[in-house]
Amino acid sequence: MSLTISDVSYAGEAASNFIVKSVVGNEIVSGGHAYVKDGIKKEFTIPRFQVGDVIQDRQATPTSPKGAATVDGRKLVPADYMLYDEFNPRDFEDHWFAAQLNPTLIDRRLPVTVESVIIQEYLKQHNKWLGGAILRGDTSRTDSLKYFNGIVTRAIADAEVPKVASPVVLTVNNIAQAFRSTLNRVSADVLYEPGLKFFVSYKTAQLWEEAQQNPAALKGVDMTLAGINRFSGRTIVPLFGMPDNTILLGKGSADMGSNIWVGMNSVDDATVQFMKLQANSELYFIKMLMKVDTNYGYGQELALYTL
């Protein structure tokens, strides 16, 4: 059991809700930077259709060039994992929420308001973890990021993804050049796509903000104002869970035109159970099963700066 009650004070009728910790969520999805393909039972192929050189001399009876059009795809194979924890509702007897507990000791259930808060807090923590896993999950790891490969992990291992040569640790002085070098590596096919975005860590975004406030710059932002998250007309998206010293440039959106995809099966799997552990036990459990995977459509339409 891992539920810890540290506040045992009580003075009058309890409030209707807990004051809960603010938690960063799954920003790459909630921000509309990835297309979510839901309802995948086993696997799904991201459809790709590429047309090659089909221009030729005019002929009375033309022939189709071999290999001019290619239909293939990259797979999403959602991997299983689960959220699970147990606790004893009696732990709340000394808490300031005790006034709302069932007076019958034999059925010491939590009031609905407390159940709701507990579920919300667990799901917020899951959302925070999932946002990081979508970016840097790695099946070669042994910790909680081991279940599926994230977008950055896949891009690092993919020879098709253009990468900036000789990257260095990012600083206020070189952050602009790092953005420029990454932009210069992306394919001309997507260079002027409206959805092309720079994905960076919070720390990298702070470096860019500080660089804009540098007094030595000819034109910069007021020190009392936040920095502008844009470079050369492209949006810069800070993401919690993104590794530092890394810039991923790609087309990300909430529709099927996105190059970044997240696959899951929330329709069947993401059902939260919150109930008694067993008939002869006072313990309760919270449980949720999930399947998730990530991928991108075209490695050539990304660009990566990373150590």
pLDDT tens string 180-196: 999 999 999 899 999 99
Q: Which among 244, 240, 259 has a CA at the least distance from the CA of 24?
A: 240
Integer Cα distance of 254 and 298 in angstroms: 17
Which sequence spans correspond to the domains of the chain?
27-52+70-306
Integer Cα distance of 214 and 158 in angstroms: 36
User: Angle between the 175-185 and 202-212 helix axes, to the nearest 10 degrees?
Assistant: 110
Rounded to 5 degrees, φ, ψ at 253 are: -155, 170
Class of the 27-52+70-306 domain?
alpha beta
- Integer Rg of the chain from CA: 25
HSE on the CB side for 281, CA within 13 Å?
A: 10
What confidence score (pLDDT) does residue 67 get? 55
Rounded to 5 degrees, φ, ψ at 99 are: -65, -20
What confidence score (pLDDT) does residue 91 get? 72
Residues of the chain with pLDDT under 50: 1, 4-23, 105-106
3-state helix, strand and coil shares in percent for the chain, rounded to the nearest 5: 25, 25, 55
Per-residue pLDDT of 112-134, as tens digits, reads 566 777 778 888 888 889 999 99
Question: What is the three-state SS of 167-216?
Answer: CCCCCCCCHHHHHHHHHHHCCCCCCCCCCEEEEECHHHHHHHHHHHCCCC
What confidence score (pLDDT) does residue 117 get? 73
| Alpha helices (H) in the chain, listed in sequence order | 27-30, 112-136, 151-157, 175-185, 202-212
What confidence score (pLDDT) does residue 141 get? 96
